Amino acid sequence: MNTLEIMKDVHWVGAIDWDLRDFHGYSTEKGSTYNAFLVIDKKTTLVDTVKKKFSEELFARIREVNPSGRIDYFVLNHAEMDHTGSLPEVFRAFRPEKIVCSAPCRDAIIEHFGKNDWPFHVVRTGDTLSLGKRTVRFIETKMLHWPDSMFSFLEEDRLLISSDAFGQHFATGERFDDEVDPSELMKQAAKYYANILLPYSGLAAKLLESIKAMGLKIDMIAPDHGLIWRKGVTDILKAYGDWSSQKVLPKAVVAYSTMWDSTTKMAAAVADGLISQGIEVKAADLRGWHRSDVMTELLDSGAFIVGSPTLNNGYLPAVADLLCYARGLKPLGKIGAAFGSYGWGGEAVKLLNEELERMKVELVHQGVRVRYVPTPEDLENCRLMGVEVGRTLRERLGS
> Residues interacting with ligand FEO, by CB under 6 A?
78, 80, 82-83, 145-146, 164, 224-225
Q: Whole-angstrom Cα distance, residue 85 to residue 74?
A: 14
Q: Kindly name the residue from 78, 83, 169, 365 that is annotated as catalytic.
A: 78
Which single residue brings its beta carbon nearest to ligand FEO? 80
Q: Whole-angstrom Cα distance, residue 209 to residue 19?
A: 36
Residue 364 CA to its chain's centroid (Å): 29
Q: Long-range contacts made by residues 179-187, C-beta under 8 angstroms, separation at least 24?
A: 179/227, 180/227, 182/232, 185/226, 185/227, 185/232, 186/235, 186/239, 187/296
Of 295 and 382, nearer to ligand FEO (C-beta) is 295
Report the nearest approach of ligand FEO to the CB of residue 34 (Å). Answer: 8
User: What b/e readout covers 23-32, taking b as 16+ CB neighbours within 10 angstroms?
Assistant: beebbbebbb
Q: Kindly name the residue from 11, 83, 145, 169 that is annotated as catalytic.
A: 145
164 is catalytic: yes
Q: How far from 300 is each of 191, 200, 242, CA to CA, in Å?
A: 11, 16, 9
Report the nearest approach of ligand FEO to the CB of residue 83 (Å). Answer: 6
Q: Give strand pairing partners of 335.
A: 303, 362
Report the nearest approach of ligand FEO to the CB of residue 203 (Å). Answer: 14
Report the nearest approach of ligand FEO to the CB of residue 75 (Å). Answer: 15
Contact 204, 189 (CB under 8 A): no
The SS3 call for residue 311 is strand
Report the nearest approach of ligand FEO to the CB of residue 320 (Å). Answer: 26
Report the nearest approach of ligand FEO to the CB of residue 33 (Å). Answer: 10
Of 225 and 334, nearer to ligand FEO (C-beta) is 225
Most distant pair of Cα atoms in the chain: their distance: 78
User: What b/e readout covers 262-296, taking b as 16+ CB neighbours within 10 angstroms?
Assistant: bbbbbbbbbbbbbbebebebbbbbbeebbbbbbbb
Contact 68, 44 (CB under 8 A): yes
The SS3 call for residue 26 is strand
97 is catalytic: no
Q: What is the dihedral of CA 120, 128, 189, 148, to 10 degrees?
A: 30
Q: Kindly name the residue from 48, 80, 300, 378 that is annotated as catalytic.
A: 80
Contact 338, 307 (CB under 8 A): yes
82 is catalytic: yes
Q: Kindly name the residue from 73, 225, 355, 378 that is annotated as catalytic.
A: 225
Contact 250, 279 (CB under 8 A): yes
Q: Kindly name the residue from 164, 177, 300, 378 that is annotated as catalytic.
A: 164
Report the nearest approach of ligand FEO to the CB of residue 1 (Å). Answer: 21
DSSP H or E segment with residue 75: strand 73-75
What does 254-285 look like in DSSP terms, one character per residue? EEE--SSSHHHHHHHHHHHHHHHTT-EEEEEE
Of 82 and 378, nearer to ligand FEO (C-beta) is 82
Report the nearest approach of ligand FEO to the CB of residue 133 (Å). Answer: 29
Of 243 and 289, nearer to ligand FEO (C-beta) is 243
Q: Which residues are catalytic?
A: 24, 78, 80, 82, 145, 164, 192, 225
